Amino acid sequence: MAKIDGRVAGVVPCYLKSHSQGEYVFDRGWADAYERAGGRYYPKLQVSVPFTPATGPRLLVRDGVDRERISEALASGLVALCGVSKASSVHVTFAREAEWKLLAEHGFLQRTDQQFHWHNEGFATFDDFLSTLNSRHRKSIKRERRDALAAGITIHWLTGNDITENAWDAFFDFYMETGSRKWGRPYLTREFFSLIGETMSQDVLLVMARRNGRWIAGAINFIGSDTLFGRNWGAVEHHPFLHFEVCYYQAIDFAIKHGLAYVEAGAQGEHKIARGYLPRTTHSAHFIADPGLRRAIDDYLKRERAYVAEAGRELAELGPFRKGADEAP
């Protein structure tokens, strides 16, 4: 926390953690290597929004003060807090690029990764979006959307008061079934979903799939000022392409209908490129207290950043969009 004349001028919310779960920027390899060498990686300090792989401000500065000065003070404060708390490190994840650069000036190592985002270029309909794709991908998406619903499945958008406790019960079943199968230990509780339903249901979109009178799959999204943020998905029945329909195509449909500029479909997933989601760089900054561990991670991150940059260029070239005016929709 930074103060001017006794008033709070800036804060950095952070967590002292004994594990690396729920972060979406993976450092378990660093922890394992350090502990095999006799070090103690935990506790560590984590600066993030829990369970949320979305870029946003991490150094929070009050309006009306010298933003650069307060940000510098907060960055220095994080380094000092690392020592006072006897943490091995400080991890500022999904930071804005300007914060990422500022933290580097205070000894934080720079890390990059990729997500895949869809951009609304003023489309009025989903077909408008399809018209920007090359013929192969346009036909593929049409086929996937048709096949996803071939078993008599219907899709429903639930938000606000339409999200009942019965809907949350169904979605929690999806979350637990898919989460247990993919990750081993889902960490969100049933109560969590009721709480967000009570406090922010107008900002929640459940895309739910129904067959034979029961919910069979769904995805939870959060509605921002200009972005739809896709998060968890799950299903108790598995049908070809239903995941793509519920998570990606319905999100695009919703964004177009509601004038949202972007869809962020969560972490990872190069398969999203063929569905119109292109690579975007994300940024994190890491202060490592131990000089030996710091040197090893610094060397690794230099190579990782180069790989991420090159992969991003290559993946963007593989995008599904038409390359020339001669390929009519």
Q: Crossing angle for the helix pair 190-200 and 165-182, nearest 10 degrees? A: 130
The full set of domains in the chain, from first to last, is: 2-113+280-317 (3.40.630), 121-260 (3.40.630.30)
Q: What is the pLDDT of residue 324?
A: 63
Q: Which residue has the tokens 């107008």?
A: 202
> By three-state DSSP, how is residue 114 classified?
strand
Q: Which residue has the tokens 């993030």?
A: 48
- Is-contact 207 246, C-beta < 8 A? yes
Structure tokens that stand for 184 in this block: 């081993």
Per-residue pLDDT tens over the stretch 225-276: 999 999 999 999 999 999 999 999 999 999 999 999 999 987 777 889 999 9
Order of all β-strands in the sheet with 2-4: 2-4, 7-11, 60-61
Which parts of the chain have pLDDT scores under 50?
326
Residue 57: name the closest of 13, 8, 115, 109 by CA: 13
Residue 303: name the closest of 115, 88, 112, 94 by CA: 112
Q: What is the pLDDT of residue 326?
A: 42
Q: What is the pLDDT of residue 108?
A: 98
Q: What is the pLDDT of residue 315?
A: 87
CA distances from 210 to 153, 246, 259 (A): 5, 11, 26
Q: Distance between alpha carbon 16 and the CA centroid of its chain, in Å?
A: 21
CA distance 103 to 53: 19
Which helix (H) or strand (E) segment is 3 a member of? strand 2-4
Question: Alpha helices, DSSP H only, in 22-63?
Answer: 28-36
- The C-alpha angle with vertex 12 and arms to 10 and 13, in degrees rounded to 5, equals 130
Q: What is the pLDDT of residue 323?
A: 78
The phi, psi pair for 57, rounded to 5°, reads -65, 140
Residue 90: name the closest of 13, 22, 37 by CA: 13
Q: What is the pLDDT of residue 184?
A: 61
> DSSP secondary structure string, 236-267?
SS--TTHHHIIIIIHHHHHHHHTT-SEEEEEE
Q: What is the pLDDT of residue 328?
A: 55
